[in-house]
Amino acid sequence: MDNRTSNGILAGNPLFRLGLGVCPALAVTTCASAALGMGVATACVLVCSSLVAFVLGKVVSEKGTVATWIMVTACFATVAQFILKGWFPELASELGIFVPLIAVSSLLLSRADFASNNSLGAAMGDAVGMGIGYIIAMTLVGIVREILGQGTLFGSDLLPFTPMTLVALPAGGFIVLGLLMGCWNAITAKKNGKEETQA
């Protein structure tokens, strides 16, 4: 696998290591299927907008970058909203305003900035890696919050009781995300340590 792609999934995971795209990761992760849907939608918009940002990067002046990236991502967020409302209306109503808010996701804007300053291969490798990393991270948060907060997994009953109702609340979202970030840091640090000793 391309080095940049694997970096986006593990050591440079956008959600757990870089803290990008936190808002939807807290808001729509009360059940795993919505979290997965949001992750996939964001990843698709990410790849498309990075491609356009790479092309536009040659012509946009430095002062207008943020404005340009927002307009590019707003166009693709509109497309994503059409697709979700047309084919997955239940998911779209569950995600609510967080589909339009893909337009100003910190993840997309920072990656568009990266894409405009790098080669096409690097930009695409980065976008795909970050996209997959974001899907994995979102689903993980969703799974933990759904099991603890509702006692179900992907909508099917798993436990006969709800272990921690707090986890389904906004406050629980912050705490679960923080704990997962810490665990992710510990795991990737251990893995990096092993690689260093092998080398």
Q: Using CB under 8 A, list all residues that contact other proteins.
A: 19-23, 26-27, 66-67, 70-71, 74-75, 77-78, 81-82, 97, 100-101, 103-106, 109, 166, 169-175, 177-179, 181-183, 185-186, 189
What's the burial of 78, exposed, middle or buried (CB within 10 Å: 0-12/13-18/19+)? middle
The residue among 44 and 166 lying less far from other proteins, judged by its C-beta, is 166
Is the separation of the CB atoms in 126 and 111 below 8 Å? yes
Measured distance CA(140)–CA(31) in Å, rounded: 10
The residue among 16 and 125 lying less far from other proteins, judged by its C-beta, is 16
The residue among 105 and 139 lying less far from other proteins, judged by its C-beta, is 105
Q: How far is the CB of 103 from other proteins (least distance, A)?
A: 5
What's the burial of 195, exposed, middle or buried (CB within 10 Å: 0-12/13-18/19+)? exposed
Nearest 5°: phi and psi at 168?
-80, -15
The residue among 9 and 72 lying less far from other proteins, judged by its C-beta, is 72
Q: How far is the CB of 72 from other proteins (least distance, A)?
A: 10
Q: How far is the CB of 160 from other proteins (least distance, A)?
A: 26
Structure token digits, residue 48: 């498309």
Q: Helix (H) and strand (E) counts for the chain? A: 8, 2
Picking from 30, 15, 10, the residue whose alpha carbon sits closest to that of residue 106 is 15
What's the burial of 93, exposed, middle or buried (CB within 10 Å: 0-12/13-18/19+)? exposed
List beta partners, residue 157.
Answer: 152
Q: How far is the CB of 44 from other proteins (least distance, A)?
A: 16
The residue among 111 and 125 lying less far from other proteins, judged by its C-beta, is 111
The residue among 45 and 125 lying less far from other proteins, judged by its C-beta, is 45
Q: How far is the CB of 199 from other proteins (least distance, A)?
A: 22
Q: How far is the CB of 121 from other proteins (least distance, A)?
A: 26
